[in-house]
Chains A and B, each alone.
Chain A
């Protein structure tokens, strides 16, 4: 089988008539572009959700206890009323749980609310995330400081007015000199800066560094939450395998704590990183289901165009086919030649589509918070699809070519 010859002729045809080749495979290019762009964005989202989002929102290997879910998509007022009727979580709940948990781990608390922070120069930042946390919070969230220190257990217990500030806050309030030891006002209350957080990056375009973290029992807590109330109690275990055990245990203790009868629903929420992943996975699944349909339409249209152009090519090159037959090409040689031509053409369209798709996804991710990550699988899939569409579209024209009578074909002009 002269595959080399067929490939040589195929590339020659593309080279000689680039524009026609391009229009011939436009359907393939578009289908593959779309496929690559969407998969690249979904893959980007996916790895982002797994590697960044879950860790930033929940911390790794952590179970989060809340009065209401942290991420909600509902606007059912009934559900919102129900959440509001639940009893809030308190400092005592955290201590009580901490004394009873048998699964090894670290318990921490945190609450937050947006508010104002002003620096010694008088400059004020609006809507900074103000967090009240326990000293263990930093360990539970894997947060480190780039300068200074985090606050201690003692400071947290006594509510000493010390604060750890995020990178953005540090940069904006302190142009020159170290913020350490300086006083900032958090919602009007004076706090001494003891540490600057390491850069946390951003989440869907929102900076995670626009934050200040103070001991939960310090004065600003009165602004963040009603007296004694906390938003989240987080229990961090050392290994992912311990997460389900910790979750079950917390659920059991909290049901006892809230005196729930068997059969009563929980009046609190327990969340882990995998919960949020389940939510994202559902979205990704819908996208992945819609994708083949859209890509399929482009590719079917593409195949029809390729088939027509190949039929034109066969009739244009009838004489060449006759010549090849007279020189000893068998039916299957001619069949293979035109199939390979269609496959090569469409495959080249696929490669072009991969390039455009990646460029498109990169563009989208650079002007929007959506992340992009190229998936190797989608590239392999695209090449197979591209070549496959060409082969499928080439079958009929190639069959027609292979059946030509060499005498008639040689006589044609």
Chain B
């Protein structure tokens, strides 16, 4: 890992407390972490480890109780809701376990959505969304609605949506949780390719198989970092026959 790479995420003494009735839940008890550009990080940890809370902070969906959190130069702590929304729009590409596509909108419209909130004009929006869909090899499925796509295709639409506004990080929350192992491999291959193109990827998962694809694994336990190790990413299994999947998608109703 070259030291010349700039820091994208910098967390210092990050704490997050929740008030649950009379009790204060200390979900994060001081996390220090630095992630540099073009790193591929898996965040692991059992439930209750503070993994989700940490992900929400990285995703700028929440701000810390104490501590510093700097995302691509933006000090996030103390930001208003609308400022956080702006940072999410520009800096973060979310990929969810359940895809979270708008069911009544086409793939193209779904991918355009972050650009709508970025205030990008209609024509440019379309061009960029088309390019993002082509980048995930869905250029031929742009007018399909989510229910006309297979699970893997849906997740690829979601990844295109995450990429479209050129964020500084891709933040994926259990991206393969709803996919079979073959499709999971396909998504991991896509992540590996994006990483190869210089994308910074942070992936929250509880599956060691999936975490194995990252080059760095951060494990949380009881609200602190338990381990932070680097590894050689597991090679992605050769892509299964795409023909098969295309046929499946075609049958599922196009």
Contacts and interface: CB of A to CB of B under 8 A. Distances in A.
A76 interface: no
Nearest to A411: B52
A11 to B, nearest CB: 11
B88 A326 contact: yes
B37 to A, nearest CB: 21
A4 B121 CA distance: 11
B216 to A, nearest CB: 24
A323 to B, nearest CB: 5
A328 B102 contact: no
Given A323-B100, A410-B100, A328 B61 contact: no
Contacts of B119: 2
Contacts of A4: 116, 122
A324 B115 CA distance: 11
Given A407-B56, A407-B62, A410-B96, A328 B88 contact: yes
Given A2-B116, A16-B104, A333-B117, A326 B86 contact: no
A80 interface: no
B94 A326 contact: yes
Contact of A328 (B56, B62, B104, B118): B118
Interface string A2-16: 101100100010001
A1 to B, nearest CB: 8
A329 B85 contact: yes
A331 interface: yes
A307 B122 CA distance: 31
A407 B88 CA distance: 13
Nearest to A325: B85
B161 interface: yes
Nearest to A322: B100
B82 interface: yes
A320 interface: yes
B161 to A, nearest CB: 7
Contacts of B109: 8
B59 A331 contact: no
B102 A320 contact: yes
A331 B89 CA distance: 13
Contacts of A410: 61, 96, 100
A5 B88 contact: no
Given A2-B116, A328-B90, A323 B85 contact: no
B124 to A, nearest CB: 14
A141 interface: no
A16 B121 CA distance: 27
Contacts of B245: none
A296 interface: no
A5 B161 CA distance: 16
B114 interface: yes
Given A320-B102, A333-B117, A406-B61, A328 B122 contact: no
A330 B85 CA distance: 6
B100 A328 contact: no
B143 interface: no
B81 interface: yes
Interface string A325-340: 1111111110000000
A319 interface: yes
Interface in B77-100: 81-82, 85-86, 88-90, 94, 96, 100
A331 B82 CA distance: 7
B161 A326 contact: no
Contacts of A326: 59, 61, 88, 94
A319 B100 contact: yes
Contacts of A327: 88-89, 94, 113-114, 117, 161
Contact of A12 (B81, B82, B86, B104): B104
B81 A328 contact: no
Query: Which of B61, B62, B119 is most buried by chain A, counting CB atoms within 10 A of its CB?
Result: B61
Nearest to B98: A319
A365 to B, nearest CB: 43
Contacts of A332: 82
Contacts of A2: 116-117, 119
Given A323-B100, A324-B113, A407-B61, A330 B86 contact: yes
Query: Which of A12, A16, A326, A407 is most buried by chain B, counting CB atoms within 10 A of its CB?
Result: A326
Nearest to A13: B104
Contacts of A320: 102
A319 B102 CA distance: 10
A329 B100 CA distance: 15
A249 B104 CA distance: 78
B96 A328 contact: no
B89 A328 contact: yes
Nearest to B104: A12
Contact of A330 (B82, B104, B161): B82
A407 B53 CA distance: 10
13 contacts: A2-B117, A2-B119, A5-B116, A8-B109, A12-B104, A16-B104, A324-B117, A327-B94, A327-B117, A328-B86, A328-B88, A328-B114, A330-B82
Interface of A: 2, 4-5, 8, 12, 16, 319-320, 323-333, 406-407, 410
Interface of B: 56, 59, 61-62, 81-82, 85-86, 88-90, 94, 96, 100, 102, 104-105, 109, 113-114, 116-119, 122, 161, 165
* 10 nearest A-B residue pairs (beta carbon): A328-B89, A328-B117, A330-B82, A330-B85, A2-B116, A323-B100, A327-B114, A5-B116, A406-B61, A329-B117
Given A320-B102, A328-B89, A333-B117, 12 more contacts: A323-B96, A325-B85, A325-B88, A326-B94, A327-B88, A327-B114, A328-B85, A329-B85, A330-B86, A331-B85, A332-B82, A406-B61
